[in-house]
Chains A and B, each alone.
Chain A
């Protein structure tokens, strides 16, 4: 162990639920998008599920709101090191969209696209079973543009770069295809509990 002389660090009353190498951001919710925040009117937002599905489907926000309401209340973890506890997102479970499109048996992975062109790749298994959402509310209010509004993907059990802002669609594939940060050296899966930050972790 390479101890740093004179470094003691924060008090060790570390919060339960804090993955290794993370710190509690408290009330802060940093914005780290690499691109210009797009101005997308809620009426112009669409979400498409395509690729290896029985029937490609597209929803606008009004249609998406007709699906069974669901949400995520819990913690989120950013690869840059902050975690945020007790967030509340409202929207629809991604399962509702996937069930409507009908993934083919050959589908194993997905690329999530943003309306900006940003992408992230995920195993299909990380997107199903009540572990991923399309959300348009934060704390009961419309999701702010800089946080991905009108609507974003939320996959809270992975580092938050996977939770694509301004989400435009999900393309189902029979192989893994690196997304934006994954092409820039980030880990293919990004599990915070195994500290999968960068390629090779």
Chain B
């Protein structure tokens, strides 16, 4: 039998997925009940849901969510999970308020505890981090959301595998999860910064110390943000010597 493996592409192979995905779980819509809303920044809030049938997820995975109007019209979107996996039967999402956002607009203006929506997931094993390999996380804006799930997982399980987060925000007031970050995190401010902190985008100087002496086994790099940020950050990683097949990218869109 002829198999696809006989074809040797002229470049390195794509990054393999980290985990098997349960197709049956991913295919089932479930009711999620909003239990709490927490303001994170002027533009972003965290929404906590009770999902009794939630099958569990790994940090970095996302779900699909849908809202249904009275006439049957539906709008659905993909969102990264912000919460670490736990046994609480709850999950959290952190959503930016998008101008004219059909779905985010409902969350930021209408939603209140007790409201029911529908979710399916978790989806995709590509951006998942099981907590095994050293993780170098680069995020911008709400791109920090799936990375925060990894930071929280690392902390909740007391993992000793190295983990570093570089997170870019326009200014301190735009930095999501600011109060939760610890020594693992370096914020990068692109427009305004507290006194004594430089202003500017992520540079090779941020990455050089981490990639000059990588941990045993090397870093698994996770990049999440706008396409512009993802292009910029992934180029910096490659230039600093990070292998392309150890870079996972999730872009908004």
Contact with B along A1-36 (1 / 0, CB 8 A): 111111111101000000001010000101111111
> With A31-B227, A51-B7 known to touch, is A200 a contact of B23 (CB < 8 Å)?
yes
Determine if A118 and B1 form an interchain contact, defined as CB atoms under 8 angstroms apart. no
Determine if B6 and A171 form an interchain contact, defined as CB atoms under 8 angstroms apart. yes
Main secondary structure of the interface of B (DSSP, over half): mixed
Determine if A5 and B110 form an interchain contact, defined as CB atoms under 8 angstroms apart. yes
Determine if B72 and A1 form an interchain contact, defined as CB atoms under 8 angstroms apart. yes
From 97 to 139 in chain B, residues with beta carbon under 8 angstroms from any chain A beta carbon are 102, 106, 110-111, 115-118, 123-127
A184–B118 CA distance with the chains assembled, in angstroms? 22
A113 to chain B, nearest CB (A): 5
Determine if A185 and B124 form an interchain contact, defined as CB atoms under 8 angstroms apart. yes
B21 within 8 A of A: yes
A42 within 8 A of B: no
How many residues of chain A get a CB closer than 8 Å to chain B's CBs? 59
29 A-B contacts, Cβ less than 8 Å apart? A2-B31, A2-B118, A3-B69, A7-B68, A7-B69, A9-B67, A9-B69, A21-B74, A23-B75, A31-B230, A34-B126, A35-B244, A36-B234, A37-B231, A48-B7, A51-B6, A52-B2, A81-B78, A113-B9, A119-B14, A146-B227, A173-B2, A173-B4, A174-B1, A175-B1, A181-B124, A184-B124, A199-B26, A200-B23
Binding site for A on B (CB under 8 A): 1-4, 6-7, 9-15, 17, 21, 23-24, 26-27, 31, 64, 67-78, 102, 106, 110-111, 115-118, 123-127, 227, 230-231, 234-235, 237-238, 244-245, 247-253
